[in-house]
Structure 1
Amino acid sequence: MKLPQVVERFIETQHIFDSKAFAECFTESAIVHDEGKTHNGKEEIQQWINHAMEEYKSALEPLNYEQSESKGVLTANVSGTFPGSPIVLKFHFDFNNGQIQDLKVTD
């Protein structure tokens, strides 16, 4: 499956638990929507993913990817130390200049 470079980096940094490199996949003004919360900007995104990495130790296994213009949807099997693991989640991306501008995680 062919993934955009930033999505490959998004998955890779998740797997190596590097919250700083993960946050670098996003624009300065990026927004993340996950678990009913909104995280604005790289600093909040890095704090969000750092907590998630420590708490859940999750890994993503891509199942499908679809892209239309500046938007993409990654369907992935997500496993980790959270109740209900593994679970299939959808990562809805909006890209800007090769970086993630907006991310919404849904089940």
Structure 2
Amino acid sequence: MTVDRSNREIRTAWDDLPDAVRTYLVAHRSRDVTAALTRFTDDAAVTDEGRTHRGRDEIAAWLGAAGGEYTYTTEFIETTTIGASSVDVLQHLAGNFPGGEADLHFRFTLDGALISRLVIEP
């Protein structure tokens, strides 16, 4: 009997994250829109604060504006991978936004070496 373990959750260290995810997170933290955008497929979608941004133009606009009115730091907490295409990164944010602190999941779906979907939520 063969057991399919491809959807099993596996804890992953920062250094073991897929390159697209690591590059995006570093670029997003430093607000490097150009570097972050290169990690997305042409038809990618990003959902943040309940709003979905589709395609590179909308994602670029979102990246340029996201959190721009606030100063904050991010701290990597943990990550879980599910199969070859799903990565859930938990980060702690602290800053001058309403509430001052938040733990957010960055849920990535990969298409090959690029991000095809990102959902940011508590």
Q: State the TM-score, normalized to the length of structure 1.
A: 0.90
Q: CA deviation at 1:16?
A: 1.8
Residues in 2 aligned to 1:38 and 1:57: alpha-carbon distance in whole angstroms: 23
Aligned to 1:9: 23
Change (3 A) 1:50 1:58: farther
Change (3 A) 1:32 1:61: same
Equivalence for 2:91: 76
Cα pair 1:14 1:58 within 8 Å, conserved:
no
Structure 1: gaps spanning 5 or more residues: none
Instruction: Considering fraction of residues, name the structure with more helix.
Output: 1
Give the fraction of aligned pairs with identical amino acids, expressed as a percent.
Answer: 30
1:81-92 mapped onto 2 (5 Å cutoff): 81-92=96-107
Q: Displacement, 1:53?
A: 4.5
CA distance in 2, matches of 1:72, 1:27: 16
* Number of residue pairs the alignment of both structures matches: 107
Deviates more, 1:58-67 or 1:96-105: 58-67
Give me the CA root mean square deviation.
1.4
Q: Supply the distance in 2 between the matched residues of 1:80 and 1:51 (Cα, whole angstroms).
A: 16
The residue that corresponds to 1:48 in the other structure is 62
Which structure's CA Rg is the greater one?
A: 2
Superposition misfits of 4+ residues, deviation over 4 angstroms: none
Secondary structure of the residue aligned to 1:55 is coil
Matched, 1:24 2:44: no
Residue segments in structure 2 that go unaligned for 5+ positions in a row: 1-12
* TM-score normalized by the length of structure 2: 0.80
How far does residue 38 in structure 1 lie from its aligned partner after superposition? 0.6
